[in-house]
Structure formats: C-alpha cells, structure tokens
Amino acid sequence: MEETIKVQPARLHELIQEKLIKAGLKKEQADTVAKHLVFADACGIHSHGAVRVDYYAERISKGGVTIDPEITFEKTGESTGIVHGDNGVGQYVALRGLDYAMDMAKESGAAIVGVKRMSHSGALSYYVKRAAEENLIAISMCQSDPMVVPFGGSENYFGTNPIAFAVPRENGAPVVFDMATTVQAWGKILDARSKNQDIPDNWAVDSEGHPTTNPHDVHGLLPLAGPKGFGLMMMVDVLSGMLLGLPFGKNVSSMYSDLTEKRNLGQLFILIDPTRFTDLPSFKHSVETMVEELHTIAPAIGFQQVYYPGETNQIKYDTYMTEGIPVTKNIMDYLESDTVHFNQYGGTGSFATS
C-alpha cells in the first residue's frame, strides 16, 4: 500500500494552486479549484481531491479548458435560468452558477439553474453544503462520460451521474448527502490506483464483463442497487444534460480521449428557501432533532453508532482541517515537483487505459 503523508490544508492548497497556474490557469480560478480539492480531501473524498490535479493540469495545458471563459447568465423565468460556462474550468463555472441560483432562491423562494458547457466540476457536496450554509435546501446533479454498464446490458452507456442534497440544521454543519449512482464513483478507483489497492469485486467489470478487483482492469462500472441506480443515473442525465440541450448518454464527451477538446458538460442546481413553507428556526430544529434521534438508535453488531448520511465525511473534515490531510506520497511528490503533468491521460479510454 502506498505511503500516506499528512499535509496541512494551507500547504496542500498552495501546491495545488501553483501546479494549476503552471498549467496555464489564471490565479483566481486556480484558487477556486484548489479550495474545492482541499475540501474533498479533507472530507475523505480522496477520489475528488489532489488525485485529480495531474489530469486537470494536462487538460488545461492542452487547451481542453477555456482559460478566459465568457460566463453569462440567461434568466429564463422568475425562478429559472441558465449559466453559459464557455467550457471554463468546472469548479469555477459551477460556483458562478450556484451564486446566481442562491440569489434567485432568496429573492423568489426557489431556483432551478442549469450550468451549460463546463468541464469536470468535482465533488457536488461542496456546492450544496455552501447553499445550506446560507439556510437554503439544495440539490445538485451532473452528467459524466459513459463508463457504466446499464442493468441487464453489456456495453457502457451512462456516466456515474452523481446527485447531492444538503439541508441546514440548528447546530453544527449542514446535513450533506452526496452519491454517485454507481456502486462507487470512478474517482474511487483512481484513488485505489494511486494507493496500489484492490477494489471490491462488486464495483466494476473487466473487458470481458467479469467482476474485477484490479483497479487497472476496470472497463465498466456497475449501477448502484441494479435497476434502482440505473434509473437514477438516467434521470440525472435527463435533467443535467438533455434539459440543457447537451449531449447525453453514450454521446457525452470522454474525460480522457482528447484533452484538446472542450467537454460541454452540464450541471443542475435546485434550491429551495424553507421559509416559504415553514419558519426557519423550527425547520432547522426538526433536522437537528432527527440527527439526535438517529444518534440514540442502538447500533447493529459491528457498528459503534448510527450516523446520519454524510456525517462521517464531516467528522473527517473537522479532524483533517486541524490535524492535517492524508495524501499519498506519490501525489505529494508530484505536487512538490517541477513537473506540470505526466502526459498520461490524453488519448486513453474512458478508464485512463490505452
């Protein structure tokens, strides 16, 4: 197993930002991406943290991201709008979209904002948590490139197509739930590769359709809970791709095949102001009461306690932001080196293999 090093958040942010600037990204955008990746690693979502920097740097260097995007907002109704992202770096464009959506939700009570034409935007939990910290209920979803074998099928069609939710609570951080519609996100397999770890045999299949434990042999991911995950990933694609007039299903651009091309991805934000339905203090108190009641449930054998969905990520965040974030040595060696990127992703297939 690859050695892990604890890094202070500020140092990790600095290294990521410097690497992205060397790749060609402007400082403000590099800062935004670095904050996002540090957040993901601090939450223990290493699949969307520093492990992504090498890929981002390669795509930026090769022109697959618009360095000076002309981001515009098209208001299509009292509570609806579209952010045209001009294929800027995903985290920066998505955050602009969230800002528009939050302003709209606070003014009209709800907002549905689509973000159109962007690159990979990272962990959705980052965005919905930010909205919940503003006392909004938040849902976000996005499409990704085809790497999932549909239930009953033998060829890849949909992406991992994640969806995330967040609600504010009376005490402590918001309740945040973020999930891929596959058994595990593709980034989890990237993380396993970086650590030289096997994966469970129910995550993915190899080129012959057989379950595999080798993260380097993955040729297809599996839907969460069979037909249920399959149905969810289809609806996410409809709402974050088709609804915005973007490519969908097997037509969504590949993350790795041609890093000189823009990705044209979509993301959707749905925000609700709870004060339009109930008073805010009682709503947040109810969420808090639910959390407390879950904590009082007797744990099953093998478990220490019942946690609300996403709670373990928040516990890790609180710990790692103080004690240091675990990062594998090979990733730290890269971040501290003069190498901008290793030129290893371009021209590979959906799973970054030749």
Give catalytic residue positions.
120
Three-state secondary structure readout of the chain: CCCEEEECHHHHHHHHHHHHHHHCCCHHHHHHHHHHHHHHHHCCCHHHCHHHHHHHHHHHHCCCCCCCCCCEEEECCCCEEEEECCCCCHHHHHHHHHHHHHHHHHHHCEEEEEEEEECCCCCCHHHHHHHHCCCCEEEEEECCCCCECCCCCCCCCECCCCEEEEECCCCCCCEEEEECCECCCHHHHHHHHHCCCCCCCCCEECCCCCECCCHHHCCEECECCCHHHHHHHHHHHHHHCHHHCCCCHHHCCCCCCCCCCCCCEEEEEEEECHHHCCCHHHHHHHHHHHHHHHHHCCCCCCCCCCCCCCHHHHHHHHHHHHHCEEEEHHHHHHHHCCCCCCCCCCCCCCCCCC
- Pick from 50, 341, 318: which is nearest to 195 by CA? 50
Phi then psi dihedrals of residue 252, to 5 deg: -65, 140
- Any idea how long the chain is? 354
Question: 255 near 344, Cβ under 8 Å?
Answer: no
Positive or negative torsion for Cα 303, 307, 308, 310: negative
Could you give the CA distance from residue 318 to residue 313 in angstroms, rounded to a whole number? Answer: 9
